[in-house]
A and B are shown apart, each in its own frame.
Chain A
Amino acid sequence: MTVVKLRDVTRVHGDVHALKGVSLDVARGELVAVMGPSGSGKSTLLNVAGGLDRPTSGSVTIGGTDLAAVKDLAALRRREVGFVFQDLNLIPSLTAAENVMLPRELDGVRAGRARTEALEALTEVGVREIADRFPEELSGGQRQRVAIARALAGERRLLLADEPTGALDTATGDEIMRLLRERCDAGGAVLLVTHEPRYAAWADRVVYLRDGEIVDAAAVRLESAR
């Protein structure tokens, strides 16, 4: 089952063609990595795939819904898509659990239920014990786990990650990738942008982007080992 589908997507910023006709599917259980030099359109691709940005032409479908027909993209995003960035955007004055709860409460979920969901998400990413600590009291790896928990809370199936290992040492980066991998194996879908081959290698499929175009994708598809 396809979770996100891009068809002939272009994105033009002024006279810069950031994406030039990209087609890409990510299915349930699949981890897809996007690689490419800076300026190749990786982050634009991620933003378009997650409904943070609209394509200039072409279509983006999330969970069967064509985004062109959606007026309130923010609501769809909050329901379907989790984002994890290198820059974690955790709010320093809130505890780990409160950070995870916040987007759900903004979405109208009651505090009690949001906290239950937050604790479940923190448990899933292996940091239940730091729920009531503040970001500055956590290690880099723990903070990234909290950010992932925030992206997962509320059973969102699609996780978009932009250099989630960027600020971490390689051993901690591997742990984060293991977590994303397990999320996929449990039926999630992850689209990962990275410039590091070692993290891209955790993916089922690796897509190379050059000047807004996919130069090769299927060739690196993993023979279904799972």
Chain B
Amino acid sequence: MSIRHGLLALLSKGPRYGYQLRVEFEASTGATWPLNIGQVYTTLSRMERDSLVAPGGTDDQGRAVYTITEAGREELGRWFSTPVDQAGRPRDELAIKLAMAVAMGSVDVQAVILAQRMAAMRTLQDLTRAKRTASGGLAERLVLDSLIFKAEAEQRWLDHCEAVLREKHS
């Protein structure tokens, strides 16, 4: 998850101080990725080092206010115009677990699938409930939809694994 680009996007709407960035970030992603204030300031200072943002004095309560730089705007534009690299994702523990279960031969693979399916359905139910009660508008809804589609993909893959295994055994 690119906190850096998320913060740049918020700063492109105008100068912000750290706490405000945290609140707006969470609001626009439906509180799906909670940020702590330390992460916000660490990210801001790295972006300041990279000349993507500049500290712009303080607000009336003495809080440091940050402004996006021209380089920051270019970086943000690049981010929006570049597809997310799927290969950059961490290794998929579930796929490895199932592969190992099949390879070992002594593990009840159906039971592994069933347990995972239960967990995946509970996740999907939680996300659906969150969507039903969501009041945060379109951005929040789309973030929840993204998580729902991913949870659904896992379920479909598990169904597929089960069907393939049944076919091999019959």
Number of chain A residues whose Cβ lies closer than 8 Å to a Cβ of chain B? 18
- Could you tell me if A197 and B163 are in contact, using CB atoms closer than 8 angstroms? no
Q: Is B151 an interface residue (CB 8 A)?
A: yes
- Could you tell me if B148 and A220 are in contact, using CB atoms closer than 8 angstroms? no
Q: Is B49 an interface residue (CB 8 A)?
A: no
- Could you tell me if B152 and A222 are in contact, using CB atoms closer than 8 angstroms? no
A196 CA / B163 CA spacing, docked (Å): 15
Q: Is B13 an interface residue (CB 8 A)?
A: no
Contact with A along B146-170 (1 / 0, CB 8 A): 0011011001100100010000000
CB neighbours of A200 from chain B (8 A)? 121, 124
A203 CA / B159 CA spacing, docked (Å): 19
- Could you tell me if A201 and B163 are in contact, using CB atoms closer than 8 angstroms? no
Contact with A along B72-86 (1 / 0, CB 8 A): 000000000000000
- Could you tell me if A201 and B132 are in contact, using CB atoms closer than 8 angstroms? no
- Could you tell me if B118 and A219 are in contact, using CB atoms closer than 8 angstroms? yes
Q: Is B97 an interface residue (CB 8 A)?
A: no
Contact A37/B121 with A178-B132, A198-B152, A201-B128 known, Cβ cut-off 8 Å = no
Q: Is the interface of B mostly helix, strand, loop or mixed?
A: helix
Contact with B along A179-222 (1 / 0, CB 8 A): 00100000000000000111011110010100000011001101
A37 CA / B114 CA spacing, docked (Å): 14
A134 to chain B, nearest CB (A): 33
B162 to chain A, nearest CB (A): 8
Interface hub of A201, A202, A206, A208 (most chain B Cβ within 10 A): A201
A225 CA / B130 CA spacing, docked (Å): 11
- Could you tell me if B163 and A37 are in contact, using CB atoms closer than 8 angstroms? yes
Name the residue on B nearest A181 (C-beta). Answer: B132
CB neighbours of B159 from chain A (8 A)? 37
CB neighbours of B118 from chain A (8 A)? 216, 219-220
CB neighbours of A37 from chain B (8 A)? 159, 163
- Could you tell me if B114 and A201 are in contact, using CB atoms closer than 8 angstroms? no
Contact A198/B124 with A178-B132, A216-B114, A225-B129 known, Cβ cut-off 8 Å = yes
CB neighbours of A203 from chain B (8 A)? 125
Interface hub of A198, A200, A202, A219 (most chain B Cβ within 10 A): A198
A117 to chain B, nearest CB (A): 28
Q: Is B122 an interface residue (CB 8 A)?
A: yes
- 10 extra interchain contacts, Cβ-Cβ under 8 A, other than A197-B121, A215-B114, A216-B118? A197-B151, A197-B152, A197-B155, A201-B125, A201-B148, A201-B151, A202-B128, A216-B114, A222-B125, A222-B129
Task: Please list 21 pairs of residues, one from A and one from B, whose beta carbons are closer than 8 Å in the complex, sorted by A's number.
Answer: A37-B163, A178-B132, A196-B152, A197-B120, A197-B151, A197-B156, A198-B124, A198-B128, A198-B152, A200-B124, A201-B121, A201-B125, A201-B151, A202-B132, A206-B125, A216-B114, A216-B118, A219-B118, A220-B118, A222-B125, A222-B129
